[in-house]
Amino acid sequence: DTEVTQTPKHLVMGMTNKKSLKCEQHMGHRAMYWYKQKAKKPPELMFVYSYEKLSINESVPSRFSPECPNSSLLNLHLHALQPEDSALYLCASSQVDNVETQYFGPGTRLLVL
Amino acid sequence: AQKITQTQPGMFVQEKEAVTLDCTYDTSDQSYGLFWYKQPSSGEMIFLIYQGSYDEQNATEGRYSLNFQKARKSANLVISASQLGDSAMYFCAMREPAQRAGNNRKLIWGLGTSLAVNP
């Protein structure tokens, strides 16, 4: 079962709102990823958690705050976002091994007004 | 620096025909991995196929095969017997080498090829 789930599927928020994106996987993967993807562009890596510890932060603005409560869950807390943050946010997970194939969720389409 | 190049922004193919999507890569490392992903308009990024640099055989997965030419640094995706559901964006990606990146190596992505399958 190569399923990664993400909620919500769509999110509209104002610039003063606080919201959270949620990602869950039950494949026993120990690495989880957040990506941001603009239309017709490849995904851009934001954060990587390995064994529930933050291992990569790609200089993401502090208005994005990741959290990994356990090995199956990954959250992305959003606060004071800008309209340019509107994008598709993808979560992925992988084994921590030589191949590290990343399996992605369906994404959350975020619109910041 | 590692780089992935996909030179075909858009491709058209007739249903039931085969199509090849091009991908060339640039790396000075001996150990690397190459991936192809499919992204339909719904947004989900779907893993299709993987090729390791030391794999002697070209990877195959159902109707997908990877034409791996190491000397030319190309890893083209071949889709046989195209179906309407194959219409999507296709991304080629390369994993950073372990000795350079340590744990949780990043994927380096191409710009993608948009494939349209005509009935």
pLDDT of residue A14 exceeding 80, the answer is yes
CA distance B44 to chain A (A): 4
CA distance A63 to chain B (A): 23
- In the predicted model, what is the mean pLDDT of residues B8-23? 97
Which residues on adjacent β-strands are paired with residue A37?
A: A88
Q: What percent of chain A has pLDDT over 90?
A: 92
Q: Which residues on chain B are in Cβ contact (under 8 Å) with A109? A: 43
> For residue range A24-71, what is the model confidence (pLDDT) as tens digits?
999 999 999 999 999 999 999 999 999 999 999 999 999 999 999 999
Which residues on adjacent β-strands are paired with residue B19?
A: B79
What are the angstrom distances between the C-alpha of A36 and each of B15, B77, B91?
A: 32, 25, 15
pLDDT at B2: 85
User: Across all residues in chain B, what is the average pLDDT?
Assistant: 93
**Residue partners of A84: CB distance under 8 A and separation at least 6:** A112
Of residues A42, A50, A99, nearest to B109 (C-beta): A42
Of residues A41, A88, A92, nearest to B43 (C-beta): A88
CB B86, CB B117: distance < 8 Å: yes
Of residues A41, A56, A101, nearest to B104 (C-beta): A56
Q: Which of A62, A65, A40, A42 has the alpha carbon at shortest distance from A54?
A: A65
